[in-house]
Amino acid sequence: MAILGIESTAHTFGVGICQSGRILANQKAMYPIKDKGMIPAQVANFHMKNAAHVIKNAINESGLSTRNIEAIGYTRGPGLGPCLAIGQLVARFLAKRYRLPVMPVNHAIGHIEVTKQAFGIKDPLVLYVSGGNSQILGLVDRPFRHYHVFGETFDIGIGNMLDSFAREAKIIPAWGSEVAKVAMNGKYIELPYTVKGMDFTFTGLLTAATDALRRHSVKDVAYSLQETSFAMLCEATERALLLTKKKDLMLCGGVAQSTRLKEMLQMITKDHGSRFFVSPNELNADNGAMIAVVAEKMFRAGEHYSDKQITIDQRYRPDSVEISW
Ligand code: FE2
């Protein structure tokens, strides 16, 4: 028997199927972003149009039939309201149609658990970096078992910051990964660096980098923006590593695909004799399999949700979730 998971927080509508933690299918449709970023209502419309065939493709890929599905997981949040609403609607529809229980999953915990499972690691310090989020987390048992947030962005996620810069710099498509290409062999110019303890902010840096485009080449500003923002993440993460004394550092989320960020974190773990893990890119990008993996853990731990609890929450924090497994 298997679990089907639906992911729809932002540009990706993903459906994954897993069985005893093994990913049997991971299918998706991705809203094409050009120069205007994401307009939530349009992305939701895209998800609505693509839901049926992505589900069908996932079932086909798994080699199973709907009879083999035991429960449905969907992303409760955090994310864009209209997009989350489509995932929830599809989960409700499948649950009613096949009389299955529904598990509401936290998106960040999806990224964390799928990576932990991929490497068989139990208790890492996690740097979770994506469009809307940037957090340093780790499991604690008190006052209840949850992923404590040791540090986080006080304003925007690092991914959104890089994407916004790409739009200002007319880099098309406006992705952080394109900023990385432009940044190759750039020269360093000084930009504001803001870390308080294990927290950080990115909007001041974004404003300064946008302003610097009037005086410096796109290449130099892109390079300096990457170096500065990644160094901020590294400083906060290193502090958390020393504080928690955790032996493993794990990087996950969309921005975990950045080669430069991986390199910098690797240097830190080398200095402290700890191990460094980062998921393969297909699991760092938003996907349905990570939701299925967490939904399976919740289901096997005996979690149960009434109809009233099948909701969405755009600001659903990972530290509010009790970890039952
Ligand atoms: Fe994500």
Inter-residue contact 113 to 293 (CB < 8 Å)? yes
Q: Output the CA 113–ligand 1 centroid distance in Å.
A: 12
- Distance in Å, CA 51 to ligand 1 centroid: 18
Residues 303-323 have a mean pLDDT of 97
**Whether the Cβ atoms of residue 79 and residue 44 lie closer than 8 Å to each other:** no
Torsion 301-305-309-314 (CA) sign: positive
> Average pLDDT in the 87-113 region?
98
CA of 216 to the centre of ligand 1 (A): 32
In this prediction, residue 102 carries a pLDDT of 98
Residues 6 or more apart whose Cβ sits within 8 Å of residue 123: 138, 139, 246, 248
Report the alpha-carbon distance of residue 323 to residue 98 in Å, rounded. Answer: 27
Average pLDDT, the chain: 96
Question: For 188-247, how does the pLDDT look when each residue is reduced to its tens digit (9 = 90+)?
Answer: 999 999 999 999 999 999 999 999 999 999 999 999 999 999 999 999 999 999 999 999
Q: Give the model confidence (pLDDT) of 222-238 as tens digits.
A: 999 999 999 999 999 99
For the chain, which residues make up each domain, given as ranges? 2-110+283-320, 122-280
pLDDT interval class at 176 (50, 70, 90) = confident
For residue 130, how far is its CA from the centre of ligand 1 (angstroms)? 6
How far is the centre of ligand 1, averaged over its atoms, from the C-alpha of 253 (Å)? 5
Question: What is the CATH code for 2-110+283-320?
Answer: 3.30.420.40
C-alpha distance from residue 221 to each of 27, 36, 211, 275 (Å): 36, 21, 10, 32
Cα 254 to ligand 1 centroid, rounded to whole Å: 6
Band of residue 174 on the pLDDT scale cut at 50, 70, 90: confident
Spacing, Cα 78 to ligand 1 middle (Å): 9
Specify the residue for token string 């393969």: 280
- Evaluated on CA atoms 134, 139, 141, 145, the torsion sign reads positive
Residues 32-54 have a mean pLDDT of 89
- pLDDT per residue as tens digits for the range 247-288: 999 999 999 999 999 999 999 999 999 999 998 888 999 999
Return d(Cα 46, Cα 264) in angstroms, integer: 36
Q: In this predicted structure, what is the pLDDT of residue 33? A: 74
Q: Give which of 83, 82, 62, 75 is closest to 102, Cα–Cα.
A: 75
Q: Tell me how far the alpha carbon of residue 235 lies from the centroid of ligand 1, in angstroms.
A: 22
- The percentage of residues in the chain with a pLDDT greater than 70, rounded to a whole number, is 99
As a whole number of angstroms, the longest Cα–Cα distance in the chain is 62
Q: How far is the CA of 150 from the centre of ligand 1 (A)?
A: 19
pLDDT in the model for residue 35: 63
Same fold, 2-110+283-320 and 122-280: yes
Cα 87 to ligand 1 centroid, rounded to whole Å? 14
Give ion ligand 1 contacts, CB < 5 A. Answer: 130, 286
CB 11 within 8 A of CB 33: yes
> How many angstroms is it from 217 CA to the middle of ligand 1?
31
DSSP code, position 153: B
Mean pLDDT of the 310-323 span: 98
pLDDT for the residue numbered 321: 98
What is the reported pTM? 0.95
- Picking from 2-6, 176-180, 229-233, 242-246, which range would have the lowest pLDDT averaged per residue? 176-180
Determine the distance separating the centroid of ligand 1 and the alpha carbon of 8, expressed in angstroms: 10
Q: Which fold is adopted by the domain 122-280?
A: Nucleotidyltransferase; domain 5 (3.30.420)
Query: Would you state the structure tokens that stand for residue 241, as one six-digit string?
Result: 């590593």
Task: Report the pLDDT value the prediction gives residue 38, as an integer from 0 to 100.
Answer: 82
Show the DSSP H helices in the chain as ranges.
40-62, 81-98, 107-119, 158-168, 176-183, 203-212, 218-244, 259-272, 281-284, 288-300
Q: What is the 187 CA–ligand 1 centroid distance (Å)?
A: 31
Q: What is the mean pLDDT of residues 38-65?
A: 96
pLDDT at 2 exceeding the cut of 90: yes
In this predicted structure, what is the pLDDT of residue 172? Answer: 84
What pLDDT was estimated at residue 149?
98
The answer to whether 188 touches 227, Cβ cutoff 8 Å, is: yes
Answer for the pair 257, 216: CB distance below 8 angstroms, yes or no. Answer: no
